[in-house]
Amino acid sequence: MKRILLGTLFAAVSLNAMAQAPGGPDCGWGNMLFEGQRGTPAHFLASTTNGTSGNATFGMTSGTNGCSTNSALTYGGKSWIAMNGMMDELSKDMAVGKGEALTTYAVVLGVAPEDRAHFAAVTHEHFTQIFSKADDTAEDVHTNTLNVLKNDPALAKYATQA
Amino acid sequence: MLKRLVYLALCVCAPLSAVAQAAPHVGAERLQQLAQQPFWISLGHYETGKLGGWRSYVDDPKFFLAADGAHEPKAELSATLAAIYKPLQSSDDPDKHAQCVYPARTRWLRDQLQLTDLPAVDCKAFKQWFSDVAPDSAVLVFPAAYLNSPSSMFGHTLLRIDQADVKTNHTALLSYAINFGAYIEGSDNSILYAWKGLMGGYPGLFALVPYQEKLSEYRSLENRDLWEYHLNLSAEETGRMVEHVWELKQIRFGYFFFDENCSYRLLELLQVARPGLDLLKQFPLTAIPTDTVKAVKASGLVEKIDYRPSRERELLERAKPLSQDEQDWVLKLSADQRQLKEADYLALPAERRALIQDAAYRLERYRANGEERDAGRAQRSFELLGAISKNPPPELDIQRPGLPEDGHDSRTWQAGLGTRGDRAFAEYGLRMAYHDLNDNAYGFPLGAQIEILQLKLRQYEGNHWQVQQLDLATIRSLTPRTELLQPWSWQVTGGLERVLGKHGDENLVSHVNGGAGGTWKLGDDLLGFALGTVRVEHNNDFNALVSPAAGFNTGLLWRNPLGNLSLEAKGDYFTNGEVRRTLSLNQQWELSRNLGLRLSAQREFSQLASPQNEVMLEVKWYHY
């Protein structure tokens, strides 16, 4: 069961449907840590229309950050691209050693349920290696994670499933 | 854009008349009977028109196959039947065939009429999309009110669609959400934006977005808690609903803030999921999202409720056990991460440092909300995270606040008896929505008020009737300032009210006023506030058409066992010399969820008349 993000599939009216492969110039797959998030102008205004955030594409491609959804890297059947929007949550979860984003990361990487607690412990222990600098991109974090997994006997098998 | 719509409409509609003979013959009577079935009515989003007959909420010709499909469920049904039988030419794009454009209609007609000889069409795009969403169960998501944004009390609802493994793998972050909202194109200025949003100037569209994106929008950007109501829809029911959402992609609805809003549309979807439900009957006039939650709950759809606190609440909870000194450290660390290495800081016990640096990190991220990435801030956050990873804090345990849907109903009927000076009166009032500082408090944040359309009529002795007050809207937001966060408090209101005047003691004036200032937490359930105000007023006692004034509004708000108590002083100093001041006390006695008793006493002062006292006891019935 493959899970990809549905940007272009639903975007008949979308104007920026020209998606890029991961690593392409307009693909936000290289989003940096603490990328931040631009918000709605004001709460009152947002709640009168229920928050499409003034996004002219109606948010249809926003989750993919302009990346092509067809060539997404998948692990254990799930797309790594899905983690792109969760970098901040993931960094926090990994720093404390537990949390929803960290569990999700394990699932996306195909880590079996019985190995997830160990995965959380190992990635927590190697936090500074996985998030090595403030401007790490999602791609860096991914590569660093695989390097850490390779060196752990129980988790090495998850580092080769590309 | 327009061209494209027309083109799409043509593709879909043009070939129909030519191929009608391919469809099986179904008697007129049977067609009529099918077209009246609730499920078909739901699929077409029909409502009974004001002059009888039908009208569809869909405001988009490309949704209909029959020319008069927006008004004729039966014509639309015959056209659909013909269209799904249209043979597929080799040059045709199968994804544009009616079977692929309307999977929910197709399935239902096939089941109802036992259509075994439909042409085989391979709906690649739909199948791929459906298998990617992989609907298994659904969750109704309700972002609760945020204190500093009283308009958010009206809230929003969306539906999360979960895959089969979400419960076992805890991967709700990978789910999709169905959101219905206004579609805003171009760059309207913000006043126009609010106005058009209210008045239906924007079309409404369904969107399917990653749930995780919605989560960060509400929890981080808007600082709203989220409530997740797990629905007991089966995989089949959820699938039926998602199939229908495909039919609505890029289809425009009217969007009106008060009735044809997100909540109404989601109720319609739930009726597609489970055709026996009749959730819409309860909303003839307005659909406020909490009412939606109530309706969904009352129909037995909810099996479990989850709560996700906002980022702001998490920050405040984390900072709660910290002493003044420790909070100072939070501010220092969040401004300069080098303080992490200060000897004074390292001298603190490790478990206290764990709390301090976690709070500092949360504060930094809170401040980054809605901002562009800043290299200095990113570096600070990064180093704080590094410190957290070496000394992780204990998990936050945040107590669930009261369920928003268990708060009082949104409309209020009021009846009171009182005396003003030496005259007795009765007062009758109706408020369309929603909550003031004293109203029954369960499920509402302390210090938030939003009222829309309130009318009060007064009957004095001798059967003398008068309009006492007409508020168009009143919004007050009294958010306490803390060591870490310093939000502004503010208020605006406008309408008609009676004030002390030259002739008789009650002069009806029209006014608009607003104010800004601060609120402070004086005790566990006690707030104090002070605001500077400005006012413009049209008053027959004054020479000018409109007279401006500046003033103050200050007071206390105390949550006590009986209900909420407010004690307020206000003053308006007009440029024409008039000075008007009021002292007032209000105590609510909460009798039950939807019933309250309020005692109000006030004394008014003016340059134009002698001071007046008024006392009133009022019943408030929150109904509907």
pLDDT one-digit tens code per residue, B30-39: 999 999 999 9
Quickly state the pLDDT bin for B612 (edges 50, 70, 90): very high
Q: How far is A134 from chain B (nearest CA, A)?
A: 5
Of B169, B372, B378, the CB nearest to A134: B378
In a domain, A146, yes or no: yes
Domain ends where: B245, B276, B308?
A: B308
- Number of domains comprising chain B: 4
Quickly state the pLDDT bin for B214 (edges 50, 70, 90): confident
| pLDDT tens column, B49-68 | 777 889 888 888 999 999 99
- Number of domains comprising chain A: 1
Q: Which chain A residue has the Cα nearest residue B174?
A: A82
Choosing among A5, A47, A105, which should be mutated to test the B contact, i.e. which has the most B CBs within 10 A? A47
Q: How far is A162 from chain B (nearest CA, A)?
A: 20
Q: Which two tokens stand for residue A113?
A: 């349920």
In a domain, A40, yes or no: no
In a domain, B398, yes or no: no
Is the preceding omega at residue B434 within 30 degrees of 0, hence cis?
yes
| pLDDT tens column, A3-23 | 333 332 333 223 233 333 444
* B24 pLDDT higher than 50: yes
Q: Are residues B101 and B168 in the same domain?
A: no
Q: How many Cβ atoms sit within 10 Å of the Cβ of residue B74?
A: 19
B205 interfaces chain A, CB cutoff of 8 Å = yes
Identify the domain containing residue A88 by its residue range.
74-159
Question: Which residues between 350 and 369 in chain B have a beta carbon less than 8 angstroms from any beta carbon of chain A?
Answer: 361, 365, 368-369
Q: How far is A6 from chain B (nearest CA, A)?
A: 7
| Residue B433 pLDDT | 82
A121 interfaces chain B, CB cutoff of 8 Å = no
Q: Are residues B420 and B455 in the same domain?
A: yes
| Residue B318 pLDDT | 96
In a domain, A26, yes or no: no
In a domain, A115, yes or no: yes
Of B202, B369, B385, the CB nearest to A92: B385
Burial class (CB in 10 A: 0-12, 13-18, 19+), B165: middle
Q: Are residues B561 and B457 in the same domain?
A: yes
Of B174, B207, B217, the CB nearest to A82: B174
A159 interfaces chain B, CB cutoff of 8 Å = no
What is the pLDDT averaged over residues A75-81?
Answer: 56
In a domain, A69, yes or no: no
Of A5, A97, A127, the CB nearest to B210: A5
In a domain, B598, yes or no: yes
In a domain, A143, yes or no: yes
| pLDDT tens column, B371-399 | 888 889 999 999 999 999 999 999 999 99
Q: Are residues B100 and B152 in the same domain?
A: no
| Residue spans of alpha helices (H) in B96-220 | 98-101, 103-113, 124-133, 166-169, 190-199, 211-216
Q: Are residues B90 and B169 in the same domain?
A: no
Q: In angstroms, rounded to a whole number, what is the distance separating the alpha carbons of residues B533 and B514?
A: 6
In a domain, B400, yes or no: no
Whether residues B156 and A47 touch (CB distance < 8 A) is answered with yes
| Residue B260 pLDDT | 61
In a domain, A68, yes or no: no
pLDDT-wise least confident of B129-143, B545-559, B598-612: B129-143
Report chain B residues whose CB lies below 8 A from the CB of A51: 156, 181, 217, 222
Q: Are residues B333 and B423 in the same domain?
A: no
pTM: 0.84
Q: Which two tokens stand for residue B370?
A: 């809605």
Q: In angstroms, rounded to a whole number, what is the distance separating the alpha carbons of residues A56 and B284?
A: 32
Q: How far is B94 from chain A (nearest CA, A)?
A: 15
Quick one: CA torsion of B427, B428, B431, B436, rounded to 10 degrees? 30
Q: How many residues does chain A have?
A: 162
Q: Are residues B218 and B138 in the same domain?
A: yes
Separation in Å, CA B363 to CA A42, A136, B369, B478: 20, 21, 10, 21
Q: Which two tokens stand for residue A69?
A: 């959804």
Identify the domain containing residue B617 by its residue range.
407-622
Q: Are residues B438 and B548 in the same domain?
A: yes
In a domain, A126, yes or no: yes
In a domain, B596, yes or no: yes
The answer to whether B201 touches B195, Cβ cutoff 8 Å, is yes
What is the pLDDT averaged over residues B91-116?
Answer: 93
A15 interfaces chain B, CB cutoff of 8 Å = no
Report chain B residues whose CB lies below 8 A from the CB of A38: 370, 372
